[in-house]
Every structure is written in structure tokens, then in C-alpha cells.
Amino acid sequence: MDFPSYYLDHVAGGRLIIGLIASLHVLINHPLAVGAYPILTFMEWWAHKHGRKDVDELAYKITFIVFIVTTTVGAMTGVGIWLSTSLFAPFAIGSLLRVFFWGWFMEWLVFISEVVLIMWWFLSWKKADTPEKKKKHIRIGLALSIMSWLTMALIVAVLGFMMKPGEWSQTRAFWDAMTNPLYLPQLGFRTFFALMTGAVFVWFSSFFFTKDTSRLEPKGQRLRKWLVYRLSHVVLVSLVMTLLFGNWYWHNVPEVMKANSAVALLSQQFMGWHSQFASLLGWTLGAFLVIAIAGLSFSSLVPRWALLIPSFMGIWLLGHFERAREFMRKPWVIGDYLYSNAVHKDELAFLQSEGLLKHATYVKHREVTEANRVECGQDIFMLACSRCHSTTGLNGVIEKFGLMYGDDKAWDSSGMLTFIQGMHQTRTFMPPFPGNEKEAQALVAYIQHLRTTREPLQGAQTIGIEAAPLPATAENHVTQQ
């Protein structure tokens, strides 16, 4: 509430936009960076050891794709997560940065070395023309594999922290934030998932570079067989490990959630997701298993399109995983500390008693009156609801109340008021209403007004900001002197 509200009326809270950017980033990072680098380094090493020029050439060509994609879309979607969260939830990313500065700082250093190494590795590949130079070159690939895994290892700590801060809630210490209870299982899950999908990616792209030019000399077939046989092993081993870590991960979550009695219901939400996720994980791993066994048994017969099935299932699984992980965190953006609408846990009662408008920065009025009720309601919507809800669009308040009270009937304002004041009890993924009773009434008035006019709500990036003078209280005597 102390930042101008960037707001897109039809996509609600920007979760969709952050989600799209983040999912794209993860979909590139996991298979291409974390998964593929070690596999490609292995190929280069093997080629060097056994004098297989063709394997080296194939590894180089696939590295070219990885190089282009990771240094453009991959890098920019990573920055994009940051740029988009700083628009939609500056209070959250700003707080996380203060807690996690060292994590991000280390991640930055690792990221610099990752970028330098990928450029060095790829751009010097053809120049490594003696055995000594080749040995050194393979070591660059090894360092790159380690660094790209480390970037993920560091950032996963932040994700885990947001859901369950663990000891940090009491100690406010950086290391407690890093070693939160979900860290290791999530890291293991992601690591082997990355290797599994990375193997399928290398396998898939090798089809484009192993076409036979002459039927008499089936070099491509020989190369493909070599690759598929080995990648099948990688898929099989990673699959077992993904399953083990996935299992550990979801056995860790409910327990943690149970301990947190205020959001006990969330575990029910989670249980619903749990069974869905379990079956999706099962089917996806099944698809990878079939491919891996087929690759082991009759490698040359596995057609290109068959690899797309586990790939798409993998994308779906990962997307579902990220979405659910984000949802489970609610109503918090930082567990047990900061609600998703920028209200701190410890200031909630204060704001409910004093009023939200009085202490906000970008509002038109400080006090609800008969005349300004709808305008106040709009500001309250922007402050308290707009980080998740749109007005009439996606996840819109009109749609939600329509589901409850019926689209074709009049909505009972006193019923709506009761609902808003108690919604955190009935919809436990929503934060408590952070204002006083008059403000809740103003919000109801705005929603009723919105229902009839359906006027679009513009964000600060379009209509600018308005900041009513602060009332003369102890809080702001500086401006009144």
C-alpha cells in the first residue's frame, strides 16, 4: 500500500504474467541448462576418450541450440521474473531482497560465472584442436555444469522460504531462511527432473543432426544408437530419483502445514492437489519409463514424435507443480509474516481498528463518508484485493460474488459485508480484510457499483497516482510542522 499500484484489469494481480514468465524460465532452465550441460559435457569427454569425432560434432551442434536459447530467452525470463514481481508485488520482492540479500548476491556471482563459462565453452569449442586443449575444454564444460546447478540450488532456497520460512519467523536470520524444511527434497526433485528432461531434450534434438545422407554408409544410425542407449540410462536413473525425492517432498509438506494451525485448512486444499499431482507424476514418469525402456531395447525404432509425449507431460507436470506450489503459500506471500496484499501479520489488528485508508499512501480520501463511499471502496479494492482479483475479468470479484449470490439476482449488501469480514474463515487462502467496518461497507458499495456500471479500473501506470494529505496524527507530524 506504499507503492503506486501497477494493475492490469483483466489478468488480475499479475499472477498470470509472472507465472508465464516464470514457467518459461523454468522450462528452459531445467532441461536445457541444469539437465543438458552435464550430458553434453559427458558426450564431449567420451568423444575425446574414444576418438569419436561424430559424437563431439553432435554435442557441439546441440550446444549451439542450448547456447542460443539460454543466453536469450533463458536469461531474459530470469530477469523478467524480477521485473514483473517488482511491478505486481514490490512489497514482497523488496522484503525478500532484504532477507535474502546474500542468497541473491551469491546467486549473482554464480550466474556471472555460468554466463562466462557457457560463452567460453561454446565459443572456444572449435579452437580446442590438441588433446591438451581438449582436456581443458572439457573441464570448462564440467565447471559450467556445476555452476548452472548451483544457480538453481540457491534460488530454490528462496522459493522454499516463501512457503515455509521455518526458524526465520523467530530468528530473522539469513541461514535459517536458507535451510528451510522443504529445501533438500525440492532441490533433489528438481535436479533429477532436470536431468531426465534434459536427456529427452538432447535425444530429441539429436534427430535433427543424425540424418543419414547415404544409405550405404549409415553413420547417423550408428551415432543415434550410441546416444539413445546412454540417454535411456540417464532417463531411467533420474526417473527413480525423481520419484524418491518427489515422495520425500510431499511427505514433508502436510506435516509442516499441520503444525501451522491457523492455516490447517490449507492442508485439505493441498490434499486435493496432492492426489492430482500424484497421478500426474505417475503418468509422466510412466511415459518417461516407456521411452527409456524402448530406447534400451530397440533404440533405432523410437520415432521422433514419441519423445514429444513425455516432454509435454513433463512440461505439464512442472507447470502444475509450480502453480500448486505458489497457491499453497496463500494467504501469505512470505509465510506467517506478510499477506499477499502487502499487509503485515503484526499490523493487521491495528489497521482493522484504525482503518486502512488512514495509513495508506496512495488513496484519494482518508475517511469514508456518504459522498465518497464508492471512491473509497475503489481505493480499498486496489489496496486489499487487486493483487489477486480483477474487477470483471479473470478471477474477478463480480464473478466470485455471482457464483455465491447468483448472477440474475440482487446481492444482499449486509450479507456481502458479513462475508468480507469473515472470508478468511471460509476461504482460508484469502487474507483477512485489513480495514475497519466502514471501509468494508465502502468496498461493498464499490462492488455493487461495479456490478451495474462494469467500469474498468485503471492502474497507476495509466491514470497516475493521487495521494491525499496525511491526517494530523503522531504518525506524520513531519509534514505538518
Partner 1 sequence: MTLSFLLANTPIPRDLPLPLPLPEGLLKTLLVLFFLVHILFVNLMVGGSILVVVAEWLGRKRQRWDTLAHAIAKTVTVNKSLAVVMGIGPLLCINLVYTMQWYSANALTGHAWLMIVPLVTVAFLLTYLHKYTWDRWAQGPKKTLHHAIGIAAMLLFLFIPLIFLANINLMLFPSEWEKVRGFFSSLRIGNVLPRYLHFMAASIAMTGLFLAGWFGRKSSDLSHLPGFARPELRRIFYRVTALVTMAQFGFGPLLLFTLPAAGITPQLYAIIFSGAAVGLLTLMVLTLELRASDEQIGRHYGWICALFTVVVLGMGSGRHVYREAALRPHQAAIQERTQSYAAALAEFQKAQAGKPAPAEPDAHQLFMNCAACHAPNTKLVGPPLTEIAQIYAGNPEGIVTWAMAPGKKRPEMPQMPPFAHLGEASLRKIAELMLEKGKVP
Contacts of partner 1 in 167-206 (CB under 8 A)? 174
Cell of 390: 480483477
DSSP secondary structure letters along 69-124: HIIIIIHHHHHHHHHHHHHH-HHHHHHHHHHHHHHHHHHHHHHHHHHHHHHHHHHT
Can you tell me the distance from the alpha carbon of 295 to that of 207, in angstroms, rounded to the nearest whole number? Answer: 14
Question: How many residues belong to the site for partner 1 (CB under 8 A)?
Answer: 90
Q: Rounded to whole angstroms, what are the CA distances from 458 to 5, 98, 449?
A: 9, 30, 16
Can you tell me the distance from the alpha carbon of 276 to that of 281, in angstroms, rounded to the nearest whole number? Answer: 8
Q: For residues 22 and 318, is the Cβ–Cβ distance under 8 A?
A: no
Cell of 25: 524460465
Query: Is 17 an interacting residue with respect to partner 1 (CB under 8 A)?
Result: yes
Can you tell me the distance from the alpha carbon of 469 to that of 481, in angstroms, rounded to the nearest whole number? Answer: 13
Beta carbon of residue 138, minimum distance to partner 1 (angstroms, whole number):
22
Give whichever of 47 and 257 is closer to partner 1, judged by the CB atom: 257
Half-sphere exposure of 195 (CA within 13 A, CB side): 26
Cell of 245: 525425492
By rule CB under 8 A, what string of x and - marks binding of each residue 95-134 to partner 1? x-xxx-xx-xx--x--xx--xx--x---x-----------
**Span of 195-203, 237-245, 364-372, 456-464 interacting with partner 1 by CB under 8 A:** 456-464
Give whichever of 325 and 358 is closer to partner 1, judged by the CB atom: 358
Can you tell me the distance from the alpha carbon of 94 to that of 83, in angstroms, rounded to the nearest whole number? Answer: 12
Could you say which of 130, 214, 426, 452 contacts partner 1 (CB under 8 A)?
Answer: 426
By rule CB under 8 A, what string of x and - marks binding of each residue 460-479 to partner 1? xxxxxxxx--x--xxxxxxx
3-state helix, strand, coil in the chain (%, to 5): 75, 0, 25
Instruction: Count how many residues are written for the chain.
Output: 481
Cell 536459447, residue?
69
Give whichever of 151 and 299 is closer to partner 1, judged by the CB atom: 151
Give whichever of 46 and 104 is closer to partner 1, judged by the CB atom: 104
Find the binding residues for partner 1 in span 342-381 (CB under 8 A). 344, 346-347, 349-350, 353-354, 359, 361-362
Beta carbon of residue 364, minimum distance to partner 1 (angstroms, whole number):
12
Beta carbon of residue 117, minimum distance to partner 1 (angstroms, whole number):
11
Find the binding residues for partner 1 in span 258-317 (CB under 8 A). 261-262, 264-265, 268
Give whichever of 179 and 247 is closer to partner 1, judged by the CB atom: 179
**Span of 53-61, 389-397, 402-410, 439-447 interacting with partner 1 by CB under 8 A:** 402-410
Beta carbon of residue 241, minimum distance to partner 1 (angstroms, whole number):
30
Beta carbon of residue 286, minimum distance to partner 1 (angstroms, whole number):
31
Can you tell me the distance from the alpha carbon of 389 to that of 15, in angstroms, rounded to the nearest whole number? Answer: 10
